[in-house]
Amino acid sequence: MCDFSEKLIAWLDGELPTDEASRVERHLKGCSECRSSLDAYKRMSAGFDAYCDAAVSFGAPCGVARWVPVISGAGAVAALVALLLAMPRTHVAPPTFHAPEAAAVAQSVAVAAQTPTSLVQEIPRRHARAPASVRDTNPVQAQNQNGYLLSEEPVIQIAISADEMFPPGAVPEGMHFVADLTIAADGSAERLQLRPRLAGFERRTTQP
Amino acid sequence: MSGEAAPLALPLSRLATGASEATTLYREMRKPLLRYLVCLGLSSDEAQDVVQDAFLILHRHLASGGSQENIRGWLFRVAHNQARNRQNRYDRNFTAASDGEMDAISHEATPERAVLEKEKFQQLGKAIRLLTEPERECLLLRAGGLRYREIGEVLGIATSTVNDTVDRAIKKLAEKCNV
């Protein structure tokens, strides 16, 4: 067997140093045995790939992975955050949170949540997508002399339907997430925290 | 689950700039990862779970300031380790696939994709089953586009060992298939 046969597959994979690769290339021009072997190795590599593809097609019914909507949900939240950040400073951190502004935020949340990506559209949804809404506002906050908020507590709580972030069936019925947006002293959004909430559970515990 | 279950804290800077990149990465890497995992022997559901877990771990890794170098190799390593943790069904496909499954797999290979004819394809399947576990893993990771160095990192072996293993595995396949 030719001495170069040990290097053919590594050469095929581009794993040889330049000088060694050049030597193999020069050798290949004059060695029909190595050319023939190289051809066989190429076909084996391609055959292995094709076999793997077929195995995946056979084993996987091409469902969309559940991770996709997590990223898409994150994208929607990111879009929401970007929208909030893009709003004039007075809208982000007002001393008090008035109803018209709440409606504006709710609208922006809905816009963000409905911003489709092609991946999202591929996912069949069992339930109608409930738009996210501003769930709670907390106008009573400590203010510094500039009117900015000092508290570590979230100023705005935004309820996002679990259906916006997870595929049907991935989370229990009635589950939603509350996004706590913490505003820094300079008025910028400092932290976003998503907390799962189970609506039914809360209702049961709060009933007299 | 109570309302105060473990919160998912997302650093805003990462989230705002990284979501589209992550989606692109996911689109690019999902198929190779799934292929690797299914060929390792995981069911499609398990493979989907592992891929999902791998990306969530990646998200946490990046969010906590982890290295962004060689994310592809990193993902394969995490997926590989996750698959190892699911040993109960590990290695099912290539070592224990029934003849019926083999036929079905061969049938799945459409003429455009199949490099070999159906009979040779089945022969290849049998030859793949005869490879050792490290040989199959090396070829699978190689098929996933990883460099020898990256394969070595995933499997915890030296690059030179990867080189030898890939060389031996391809030659074994060629010999068994009389190519």
Separation between Cα atoms, residue A49 and residue B35, nearest integer Å: 9
- Tens digit of each residue's pLDDT (9 = 90 or more) over B58-115: 888 888 887 878 888 899 999 998 888 875 544 444 444 445 555 555 555 555 554 4
pLDDT score at A2: 81
Would you say residue B162 has pLDDT above 60? yes
* H runs (alpha helix) in chain B: 12-40, 44-63, 71-84, 92-96, 99-108, 118-130, 133-143, 148-155, 159-176
pLDDT score at A80: 44
Separation between Cα atoms, residue A176 and residue A196, nearest integer Å: 6
CATH number assigned to the domain comprising residue B78: 1.10.1740.10
Question: Percentage of chain B with pLDDT > 70?
Answer: 69
Is B102 an 8 Å CB contact of chain A?
Answer: no
Q: Tell me if B67 is assigned to some domain.
A: yes
Provide the terminal-to-terminal Cα distance of chain B, rounded to the nearest Å. 58
Q: Quick one: B101 and B176 in the same domain?
A: yes
Is B143 an 8 Å CB contact of chain A?
Answer: yes
Contacts of A140 (CB under 8 A, 6+ apart): none
Shortest distance between the Cα of A74 and any Cα of chain B, in A, equals: 7
Which residues from B are below 8 Å from A60, CB to CB?
34, 38, 44, 47-48
B139:A48 CB<8 A: yes
Establish how many alpha carbons lie within 13 A of residue A141's alpha carbon, considering only the half-sphere containing its beta carbon: 24
Domain count, chain B: 2
Give the long-range contacts of residues B122-127, CB within 8 A, separation 24 or more: B123/B176, B123/B177, B124/A44, B124/A47, B124/A48, B124/A51, B124/B173, B124/B177, B125/A51, B125/B94, B125/B97, B126/B102, B126/B176, B127/B172, B127/B173, B127/B176, B127/B177
* Cβ proximity of B25 and B54 under 8 Å: no
ipTM: 0.73
Range of the domain at B67: 19-90
Banded model confidence at residue B9, pLDDT cuts 50, 70, 90: very low
List beta partners, residue B153.
none
Shortest distance between the Cα of B66 and any Cα of chain A, in A, equals: 19
For residue A96, with 0-12 CB atoms within 10 Å meaning exposed, 13-18 middle and 19 or more buried, which class applies?
A: exposed
B1:A196 CB<8 A: yes
List beta partners, residue A86.
none
- What the block records as the tokens of A22 is 């050049």
pLDDT score at A59: 53
More confident of the two residues B93 and B176: B176
Q: Quick one: B78 and B131 in the same domain?
A: no
pLDDT score at B40: 82
Q: State how far the alpha carbon of A120 is from the alpha carbons of B128, B135, B161, in Å.
A: 37, 38, 43
What is the average per-residue pLDDT within B44-69? 85
Q: Tell me if B8 is assigned to some domain.
A: no
Asked which of B66, B90, B114 is the last residue of a domain, the reply is B90
Separation between Cα atoms, residue A183 and residue B151, nearest integer Å: 45
* Cβ proximity of A138 and A154 under 8 Å: yes
Q: Quick one: B104 and B171 in the same domain?
A: yes
Helix, strand, coil percentages in chain A from 3-state DSSP, rounded to 5: 50, 15, 35
Asked which of B32, B62, B90 is the last residue of a domain, the reply is B90
B179:A55 CB<8 A: no
Residue of A34, A39, A52, A157 for testing the chain B interface, max B β-carbons within 10 Å: A52
Q: Which residues of chain A have pLDDT under 50?
A: 60-85, 87-155, 200-208
Q: Tell me if B82 is assigned to some domain.
A: yes
Shortest distance between the Cα of A27 and any Cα of chain B, in A, equals: 18
- What the block records as the tokens of B59 is 């998200």
Q: Tell me if B3 is assigned to some domain.
A: no
Q: Quick one: B124 and B107 in the same domain?
A: yes
Instruction: Give the E-state strand segments of chain A in sequence order.
Output: 133-137, 156-161, 175-183, 189-198
Q: Tell me if B133 is assigned to some domain.
A: yes
Q: Tell me if B6 is assigned to some domain.
A: no
pLDDT score at A74: 47
Would you say residue B171 has pLDDT above 50? yes
Q: Quick one: B145 and B81 in the same domain?
A: no
Separation between Cα atoms, residue A64 and residue A33, nearest integer Å: 46
Residue of A56, A119, A160 for testing the chain B interface, max B β-carbons within 10 Å: A56
CATH number assigned to the domain comprising residue B146: 1.10.10.10
Asked which of B72, B90, B108 is the last residue of a domain, the reply is B90
- What the block records as the tokens of B10 is 């997302």
- What the block records as the tokens of A107 is 């609208």
Q: Quick one: B111 and B177 in the same domain?
A: yes
